[in-house]
Structure 1
């Protein structure tokens, strides 16, 4: 992984709509849309600079970018947000903007290239998505049962019985 040793890094702050980039060592900063055209532009920039791309975990908003980069042969790593935050504190950085975050992510990865993780396999990503969905359904069922108990205490159970029963039956099947 020669890319990791020469310090060419592109840090990205990923949001729903935008990708804020900071390139090391030259300090180039730019913003691209978080969509197919922006992902392709990041891929081209990384290949042109022979750079590693890194970004924080952002609740899944980084997955399509990550898949595009990997498919294009660009080394891409996800870095732990808690470690980036600790790195920012160690540097005395208090301001928080997307541009500053992108620079911090790049500098953190340049400092700790071993902290980044690779794109999980498709099977593992699917398993994680299914596990997350199951947890959401379990939580929905728990809330529904609490609502049913509340309706019983308030004496309004009959009013909601058919809706609650149907919904509970559907959740129990999942």
Structure 2
């Protein structure tokens, strides 16, 4: 005799587009769409906070998922970011080849329910800000190195344009470095480790 256990936990899949979010609550077979805007994300986070959630699964989309993931994490919701290739392989294994936003959201929710990807704590705003500053400093330093290399090879007639850009890059590097130095002391998670 087969026994079934009814769970009140919900698995949610969210397909993220540049301008819209498709949401699918698996256990309720419920789909809706909202705008991928600050207001839309805030409203979605408030709506999902009313459920008892096992996990909310979203695919890494090259940055479009960031504001959603951070908003959900700040509400204390169990959000998981997964690689799109894993969800595609999961869908392919089930013979699902069609691709619509609603179907994608459903497949993402099923992936979460069956594969149960682990929920990891999302970094705090301060840590994310620090990491963004680090990335920006690296980008500026790379641009500065490229400009120095161009200056080295440049004709005398155009060296001044390279020098002006290097001066601007030096100012930006100094600004970012000062922000990094201030921010590192503000990250309370690191206070005992410094």
TM-score, normalised to structure 1's length? 0.76
Q: 1:139 and 1:97, CA in 2 relative to 1: closer, same or farther beyond 3 A? A: farther
Counterpart residue number, 2:159: 161
Structure 2 counterparts to residues 45-64 of structure 1, below 5 A: 45-51=47-53, 52-64=55-67
* Structure having greater relative contact order (Cα 8 Å, sep ≥ 6): 1
Counterpart residue number, 1:37: 39
Q: Deviation at 1:21?
A: 1.0
Q: Deviation at 1:142?
A: 4.2
2:103 aligned with 1:103, yes or no? no
Residues 8 and 52 in structure 2, CA contact (< 8 A), matched pair in contact too: no
Deviations 1:88-132 (A, max 9, x none): 332233333332322222111112223443312233312321232
Q: 1:137 and 1:22, CA in 2 relative to 1: closer, same or farther beyond 3 A? A: same
CA distance in 2: counterparts of 1:100 and 1:159, whole angstroms: 59
Deviations 1:8-45 (A, max 9, x none): 11111122321111110232222101123212332233
Helix, strand or coil for the counterpart of 1:77? strand
Structure 2: 5+ residue stretches without partners: 1-6, 174-194
User: Across the two proteins, how many residue pairs are aligned to each other?
Assistant: 165
CA distance in 1: counterparts of 2:37 and 2:91, whole angstroms: 28
Counterpart residue number, 2:191: none
Residues 79 and 117 in structure 1, CA contact (< 8 A), matched pair in contact too: no
CA distance in 1: counterparts of 2:85 and 2:71, whole angstroms: 25
Q: Deviation at 1:6?
A: 5.2
Q: 1:162 and 1:57, CA in 2 relative to 1: closer, same or farther beyond 3 A? A: same
